[in-house]
Amino acid sequence: MPFICDIVLNDCFSGVIFTQIKLFHFTELILLIALKILFCFLVFLCAERVLSQEGKIAGSNTGASPSFYISDASDTAVIDKSSETKSKILNYPSQLLYQVSSIFSISKKDLPWIAIAGGITIGLFALDGTIDDKVKNLKRDHNWIKSTSPFISELGGNYGLILTGAFAGFSLIAGNNKSVETSVYALESALSSGIFTRIGKVLAGRQRPSAVYGQIKKTTGKWSGPLTQFEKGKHQGASNYDAFPSGHTAEAFAIATVFAKQYNSTSVIPIIFYSTASLVGISRMIEHTHWASDVFVGGVIGYLCGTSTLYFNNHVSNHSKSEKIAVSFQPSFFNSAYGGNFNFKF
């Protein structure tokens, strides 16, 4: 009997340790996501504050005495442009709502592209194992790949966000509104891609390549379904079950698409940004963190987020006031009971 109790106690203790590990993975994941969101909104806030100040300065100049200042149409243009940029910065919730609703409003002209993307994805599913075998030993066989791949990979992670934020800072200092807009659009696009890929990861629960290398029978990543990352009994950790789709690739293409389309008058800009985003996707396979199908779907998500971000800000938000979101709450009291009315208008 004591022996049985000892086994039970040991199992309980192991369960406690495992629960702590799982909570750590979950907490770490939420913290990383929160930090990325905070960074993006800090950039938004700085841009909004500087543009507001710019508008005030330009406005005060237009009211100056004729002996010191001669007003012309360009002053009004500066104020209007600053106000327009500021309003777009503050309109991200409406943009995200538009992107979500777009998923459920597919038109006939979209069907061929969906069929092509779906066909490529299915084909890559069949080739995932073969492609992984080709890239698995590249880091071991080539020192230059071993030293550069981790850096390139993070261009779709923290480095990409930091560089975009730095570009926004320099643009604010230089007073270049188009560059400020481009930076903000890129961060908004990256934020949206992160939200959509995270949903996909939680729903798919696919194993990463590195998680199956030690298995006797190698697979191309087991699909364990929704919430597997945090399900008890998965002793490899949450991060091993969020391969599909690739978040780094999605973020890289989300940022690249915005810059490529904003500066498409210079042909070399799209080539540089799309090539860099593609290298990020390849590096994710070299780093044993993603299958080829994960990378392709992540790239598609990033491209769609970048395209829809630009379309919303350049077309939808400029012509429709219905996109504004309003939230209100009014408490209600009835004798000994109480409640409230919550209104969400969009």
Does 23 reside within a domain? no
Does 56 reside within a domain? no
Question: How far is 30 from 33, CA to CA, in rounded Å?
Answer: 5
- Please count the other Cβ atoms lying within 10 Å of the Cβ belonging to residue 107: 6
Does 80 reside within a domain? no
Vertex 327: Cα angle to 322 and 329 (nearest 5): 145
Does 71 reside within a domain? no
Does 163 reside within a domain? yes
Enter the pTM of the model.
0.73
Question: How far is 287 from 149, CA to CA, in rounded Å?
Answer: 7
In 205-319, alpha helices (H): 247-262, 268-286, 292-311, 317-319
The answer to whether residues 179 and 47 touch, using CB atoms and an 8 Å cutoff, is no
- Going residue by residue through the chain (346 aa), what tens digit of pLDDT does each one get? 443 333 333 333 333 333 333 444 555 555 556 666 666 666 656 655 555 555 544 444 444 433 333 334 444 444 445 555 555 556 788 888 999 999 888 888 999 999 999 999 999 999 999 999 999 889 889 999 999 999 999 999 989 999 999 998 898 888 888 998 999 999 999 999 999 999 999 899 898 998 887 765 667 778 888 877 666 445 456 677 889 999 999 999 999 999 999 999 988 999 999 999 999 999 999 999 999 999 999 999 999 999 999 999 988 866 554 444 444 545 555 555 555 554 545 4
The answer to whether residues 220 and 129 touch, using CB atoms and an 8 Å cutoff, is yes
In the chain, alpha helices (H): 2-62, 73-89, 92-103, 111-135, 138-141, 143-154, 158-174, 177-204, 247-262, 268-286, 292-311, 317-319
How many domains does the chain fold into?
Answer: 1
The answer to whether residues 289 and 282 touch, using CB atoms and an 8 Å cutoff, is no
Q: Are strands 337-345 and 326-334 parallel, antiparallel or unpaired?
A: antiparallel
Question: How far is 317 from 22, CA to CA, in rounded Å?
Answer: 42
Instruction: Identify the domain containing residue 103 by its residue range.
Output: 93-345
Gyration radius from the chain CA atoms: 25
Does 324 reside within a domain? yes
Question: How far is 129 from 15, CA to CA, in rounded Å?
Answer: 34
Does 267 reside within a domain? yes
CATH number of the structural domain spanning residue 115: 1.20.144
DSSP element (H, E) containing 341? strand 337-345
Does 4 reside within a domain? no
